[in-house]
Amino acid sequence: MSGETRTIRVTINGRDYERTIAPNLLLSDFIRHEAELTGTHVGCEHGVCGACTILHDGRPARSCLMLAVQANGARLETIESLANGEALHPLQTAFWEKHGLQCGYCTPGILMTMKAFLAETPKPSEAQIREALSGNLCRCTGYQQIVEAVRHAAALLRGEAS
């Protein structure tokens, strides 16, 4: 507790945040408690469960494994940016329709991981979906309805399903 602080500036969901913070503040805590974007969840704080996954300059990253100061200057996206106002993103629609969530705690991390995945892999096989999901733990669903939801979302994003 030296009282040392740093001032950082990050863009989250298109909005700039400039905050003076302790250098040991985790990025996940910064997002949740400084930016007050509590949709990003913390499940293990050791980088395994993936609940805290956000997009860091467009790529999925575990916000519990980064310090907030390391995100200085970065462009971050969290679950709160996924819907366009009231209009849900196809991933959200697909998860709703296919029962791809139960308690919903892991869901934001999964949706952000899948957003990046489907951008790179617009027509994924089941094996590719399962591999892409393998960094996100879900304790409720057994993954099957998540896999179906991701496949459905991919089709929606390709404009192939109504």
Partner 1 sequence: MSTRLIGEPVKRREDRRLLTGTATFIDDIHLPGMVHAVVLHSPHAKARIRRVDAARALALPGVLAVFTHEDLGAANDPMPLLNNDRGFIYPRTHRALAPGQVRFVGEAVALLVAENRYVAETALELIDVDYEPSPAAVDLMAAARPGAPLVHDDTDSNVACRTPYHFGDVEAAFAAADVIITEELRPERGAAQPMETRGVVAQYDASTDSLTVWDTTQAPVSARGLIAAKLGMAEANVTVIAPDVGGGFGVKIMLLYAEELLIPFAARRLKRPVKWIEDRREHFLGSNHERLMVHQVELAATKDGRLLGLKDVFYYDSGAYCPYGPINAECAQGILPGPYKIPAIYTEYIAVYTNTAIVSPYRGAGMPHGNFVMETMMNRLAERLELDPAELRWRNLVTPADCPYDGGTVFQYNTKLIHRDCDYPALLEKLLAVLDYDGFRLAQPGERAKGVHKGIGIGCYVEGTGIPPYEGMEVRVEPTGFVQVATGYPSQGQGHQTTLIQVVAETLGVEPDKVNVQAGRTDRFAWGVGTFASRAAVVGCTAALKATRRVRQRALDLAADRLEVAASDLEIVSGRVQLKGVPDVGVTLGELAAAANPIITLEPGVEPGLRAIDYHRPEGATFASGMHGLIVNVDIETGMVKIERYVVVHDCGVMINPMIVEGQILGATAQGIGGTFYEKLVFDEAGQLLTTTFMDYLIPTAMEIPPIEIHHLNHPSSLNPLGVKGVGEGGVMPVAPAFALAVEDALKPYGAHINAVPFGPPDVLALIERRVKF
Q: 101 or 118: whose CB is closer to partner 1?
A: 101
Q: 73 or 103: whose CB is closer to partner 1?
A: 103
Q: 7 or 144: whose CB is closer to partner 1?
A: 144
- The C-alpha atoms of residue 111 and residue 117 are separated, in whole angstroms, by 10
Minimum distance, C-beta of residue 154 to partner 1, in the bound complex (Å): 15
- The C-alpha atoms of residue 121 and residue 116 are separated, in whole angstroms, by 9
Q: 73 or 131: whose CB is closer to partner 1?
A: 131
Distances (CA, A) of 86 to 51, 52, 66, 151, 162: 24, 23, 31, 23, 18
Lookup result for tokens 């519990």: 64
Q: CB–CB of 77/71 below 8 Å? A: no
Q: CB–CB of 148/85 below 8 Å? A: no
Minimum distance, C-beta of residue 69 to partner 1, in the bound complex (Å): 14
Interacting residues with partner 1 (CB under 8 A): 1, 22, 24-25, 29, 32-33, 36-46, 48-49, 51, 78-80, 82-83, 88, 92, 95-97, 99, 101-108, 111, 126, 129-131, 133-147
Minimum distance, C-beta of residue 81 to partner 1, in the bound complex (Å): 9
